[in-house]
Amino acid sequence: MNNNQSASYQAGQAKGQAEEKSSQLMDQASNAAQAAKESMQQAGQQMQEKAQQATEAVKDATGMNK
Protein backbone atom coordinates (compact mmCIF):
# COMPACT_ATOMS: atom_id res chain seq x y z
CA MET A 1 0.00 0.00 0.00
CA ASN A 2 1.53 3.34 -0.95
CA ASN A 3 1.15 6.54 1.08
CA ASN A 4 -1.89 7.76 -0.88
CA GLN A 5 -3.72 4.47 -0.44
CA SER A 6 -2.82 4.39 3.25
CA ALA A 7 -4.05 7.95 3.81
CA SER A 8 -7.23 7.20 1.89
CA TYR A 9 -7.80 4.03 3.91
CA GLN A 10 -7.25 5.86 7.19
CA ALA A 11 -9.62 8.64 6.12
CA GLY A 12 -12.25 6.03 5.29
CA GLN A 13 -11.76 4.38 8.67
CA ALA A 14 -12.09 7.71 10.46
CA LYS A 15 -15.24 8.56 8.49
CA GLY A 16 -16.77 5.20 9.37
CA GLN A 17 -15.97 5.66 13.05
CA ALA A 18 -17.42 9.19 13.03
CA GLU A 19 -20.62 7.94 11.41
CA GLU A 20 -20.90 5.15 13.99
CA LYS A 21 -20.39 7.62 16.85
CA SER A 22 -22.97 9.98 15.33
CA SER A 23 -25.47 7.13 15.06
CA GLN A 24 -24.90 6.18 18.70
CA LEU A 25 -25.40 9.79 19.81
CA MET A 26 -28.63 10.04 17.82
CA ASP A 27 -29.89 6.83 19.45
CA GLN A 28 -29.04 8.19 22.90
CA ALA A 29 -30.81 11.47 22.16
CA SER A 30 -33.86 9.62 20.89
CA ASN A 31 -33.94 7.42 24.00
CA ALA A 32 -33.61 10.48 26.25
CA ALA A 33 -36.44 12.24 24.43
CA GLN A 34 -38.69 9.17 24.77
CA ALA A 35 -37.91 8.89 28.49
CA ALA A 36 -38.69 12.59 28.99
CA LYS A 37 -41.97 12.21 27.12
CA GLU A 38 -43.00 9.25 29.26
CA SER A 39 -42.01 11.10 32.43
CA MET A 40 -44.12 14.10 31.40
CA GLN A 41 -47.09 11.84 30.65
CA GLN A 42 -46.82 10.28 34.12
CA ALA A 43 -46.58 13.71 35.74
CA GLY A 44 -49.65 14.84 33.81
CA GLN A 45 -51.62 11.81 34.92
CA GLN A 46 -50.63 12.39 38.55
CA MET A 47 -51.65 16.05 38.33
CA GLN A 48 -54.98 15.06 36.79
CA GLU A 49 -55.60 12.58 39.62
CA LYS A 50 -54.70 15.17 42.25
CA ALA A 51 -57.02 17.71 40.65
CA GLN A 52 -59.83 15.15 40.67
CA GLN A 53 -59.18 14.39 44.34
CA ALA A 54 -59.17 18.10 45.15
CA THR A 55 -62.47 18.57 43.30
CA GLU A 56 -64.02 15.70 45.26
CA ALA A 57 -62.69 17.15 48.54
CA VAL A 58 -64.25 20.52 47.75
CA LYS A 59 -67.55 18.87 46.84
CA ASP A 60 -67.45 16.91 50.12
CA ALA A 61 -66.62 20.03 52.12
CA THR A 62 -69.40 22.08 50.55
CA GLY A 63 -71.98 19.32 50.64
CA MET A 64 -72.23 19.12 46.84
CA ASN A 65 -71.47 15.37 46.84
CA LYS A 66 -74.66 14.41 48.62
In this predicted model, what pLDDT tens digit does every residue of 16-46 receive, in sequence order? 999 999 999 999 999 999 999 999 999 999 9
Q: Which residues contact 56 (CB under 8 A, 6 or more apart)?
A: 65
Q: Where are the domains of the chain?
A: 1-66
In this predicted model, what pLDDT tens digit does every residue of 8-22 receive, in sequence order? 999 999 999 999 999
What's the Cα-to-Cα distance from 63 to each of 4, 48, 50, rounded to whole Å? Answer: 88, 22, 20
Banded pLDDT at 1 (limits 50, 70, 90): low
